[in-house]
Amino acid sequence: MSIIESRYFDPAPIRIEFDSFDPVTGAANVIVTMYSTTYSLTNENFHIVLMEEDVNTAPATYDDTHITRDVFSDTITLTGGGNTATYNHTFTIDPGWDTTKLRAVAFVQLQDKTVVQTGSADPVPAIRARAMVPDSRSKIGPSTGTYETGDVTVMNVGLGETFEISVVIDVAPAGWTVAFKDSLGTTHTDPLSFSLSADESTTFKAVAMLSSPGYMRYSLVVTSPGLTRPLVIPFVYITDDVDVLLVDDDGGETYEDYFTAALETAGKTYGIWDRGSSQLTTEVADTFKVLLWNAGFASPTLDADDQAFLTGFLDAGNGLFMSGQDVGWELNEANPAIAWYNGYLHATYIRDDTNIMDLFGVTGDPITDGLDLHIAGGDGANNQAYPDEIAPFDADATMILNYQGNFGGGIRSTDSVSGAKVVYLGFGFEGIDNAQDRHDLLVPAVRWIQGVVFENGFESGDTSAWSGSTP
């Protein structure tokens, strides 16, 4: 869903509508309309998929009960705003299919597999609203002043209706506020009612007032009595001077909360970049020097795009805290990128699923000296099904955590060429069973990555960085 939701508000060049679909006869009529005056389709793929839902299968515990019964495929060539392409096809209906549970979906797909648009034969509500956001909904900028989004287009794609728009702030530092402007440029802080006839649209801009380093997640929310659910248009603003950026790559879970709680107890400022909603960009790499990567239990993770991003980020000498119980398994067995894993995480993958829940720090280590960790139960995520055993790959890396029985569970490394510092856990940080231990691992790790020796007047790092002069 995070992948789908990340595309909700992209401007769509085409629209796909079922003019008709009869599940008894199998007859389907689909119309594709080109909205864009500049976009074109040339010999791309058009498909209609016939599905049956809630199919009784054996054994009863079998999960896949939504079955593709048939697929009609053709090509599509379409250009010019307002032009249409029409497809008529009649599926052969098997007598054993339950026609009350048959449904149809159509989509246009490019040769590179990108899905441009979809349409469904399912009944649609009479009152419907959509939104288009032409710019990225994740913004990096200064920690003081005012930020305005680009124009957010709200479209009425149903019957005429009166709507209401308001701002909802989910997370923000104290003192930050958000208003919005209508199409005339008038600023509003209270909810605003507006009417749209069928196929009419209007625009709004969110306006954020910022006063300190931090991170804000907020939304423009459109409601009406006729909408089956609110239209929520989410945004993120991250200041360019936070201490660390947390990359939320856990597949839609909330494991990031374990990281942020530990950072907050240490007074560290942070931003959260939802990897499911937005690609990591060169702006991210150029702005932030320390990344905390929450891979959670997601798979796949650290895909080719992530590896390319981290290659540049680490080659520039920046720092990374990597946490995920299946990162080693993923990059060595499921979707191998072994050379990258060895070269940038400075790790050797030993095995999957240690099934060991106790880890111990290394005496004298600047991060883990004195730590005893348990990664099951307590107030942790209790999700450590397959923690990896890992080991240092080269002389740049050293062990910092061992599972009970002296099996490697965590390493740190300083790249001998770039100077990049990496802390890599073979398990998920979120699994640690209490807040104090999570703090006592993450905060020293961040300080080590940052090269901090003193913070708030107290020693917190490797004293080898001290000068030889007399204080």
pLDDT in tens, 387-406: 999 999 999 999 999 999 99
pLDDT tens for each residue of 129-164: 999 998 889 999 999 999 999 999 999 989 999 999
Worst-scoring range by mean pLDDT, 95-99, 189-193, 427-431? 95-99
| CATH topology agreement for domains 2-120 and 242-459 | no
Q: Per-residue pLDDT averaged across 364-381, rounded?
A: 97
CATH fold of 242-459: Rossmann fold (3.40.50)
Token pair listed for 101:
């549970």
How far out from the chain centre does Cα 351 lie? 28
Radius of gyration of the chain (CA): 26
Q: How confident is the model at residue 421 (pLDDT cuts 50, 70, 90)?
A: very high
Percent of the chain with pLDDT over 90: 85
pLDDT at 66: 85
What is the rounded distance in angstroms from the CA atom of residue 388 to the CA atom of residue 318?
25
Q: β-pairing, 215-223 with 129-132?
A: unpaired
Phi first, then psi: what are they for 155, rounded to 5°?
-115, 140
Token pair listed for 367:
């991060």
Work out the burial of residue 102: count CB atoms within 10 Å of its CB; fewer than 13 is exposed, 13-18 middle, 19 or more buried: buried
pLDDT tens for each residue of 299-349: 888 999 999 999 999 999 999 999 999 999 999 999 999 999 999 999 999
- What's the DSSP call for residue 334? I
What is the rounded distance in angstroms from the CA atom of residue 136 to the CA atom of residue 236?
9
Q: Per-residue pLDDT averaged across 354-372, rounded?
A: 97
Second-level CATH architecture of 129-232 = Sandwich (2.60)
Better pLDDT: 279 or 269: 269
pLDDT at 300: 82
**Helix, strand, or coil here: 430?**
helix
**Number of other residues whose CB lies within 10 A of the CB of residue 113:** 7
The closest alpha carbon to 74, from 43, 31, 32, belongs to 43
Q: What is the pTM of this model?
A: 0.85
**Cβ distance 45 to 34 under 8 Å?**
no
> Which amino acid, residue 275?
R
pLDDT at 465: 42
- What's the DSSP call for residue 332? I
Q: How confident is the model at residue 463 (pLDDT cuts 50, 70, 90)?
A: very low
CA dihedral 279, 280, 283, 285 (to 10 degrees): -170
2-120 CATH choice from 2.60.40.1930, 3.30.1330.60, 2.170.190.11, 2.60.40.1080: 2.60.40.1930
Indicate the domain borders of the chain: 2-120, 129-232, 242-459
What is the rounded distance in angstroms from the CA atom of residue 431 to the CA atom of residue 381?
5
Beta-sheet strands, E only, within 212-281? 215-223, 231-239, 244-248, 270-274
Strands of the sheet with 161-171, listed across from one edge? 138-141, 231-239, 215-223, 161-171, 192-196
**Number of other residues whose CB lies within 10 A of the CB of residue 122:** 10
Q: Per-residue pLDDT averaged across 14-42, rounded?
A: 96
pLDDT at 467 over 50: no
Q: Which residues pair with 321 in a beta bridge?
A: 292, 423
pLDDT at 460: 44
Q: β-pairing, 372-374 with 319-323?
A: unpaired
Token pair listed for 240:
């360019």
**Cβ distance 44 to 109 under 8 Å?**
yes
**Cβ distance 226 to 272 under 8 Å?**
no
Token pair listed for 3:
């992948």
Q: Which residues pair with 194 in a beta bridge?
A: 163
pLDDT tens for each residue of 30-80: 999 998 999 999 999 999 999 999 887 655 555 677 899 999 999 999 999
How far out from the chain centre does Cα 169 lie? 19
**Helix, strand, or coil here: 120?**
strand
What is the rounded distance in angstroms from the CA atom of residue 116 to the CA atom of residue 46?
10
What is the rounded distance in angstroms from the CA atom of residue 447 to the CA atom of residue 462?
10
The closest alpha carbon to 366, from 288, 311, 448, belongs to 448
Worst-scoring range by mean pLDDT, 205-214, 243-252, 275-284, 417-426? 275-284
pLDDT at 23: 97
Residue matched to tokens 């829940």: 357
pLDDT at 455: 53
Q: β-pairing, 187-188 with 177-181?
A: antiparallel
Token pair listed for 184:
């005339």
What is the rounded distance in angstroms from the CA atom of residue 293 to the CA atom of residue 295?
6
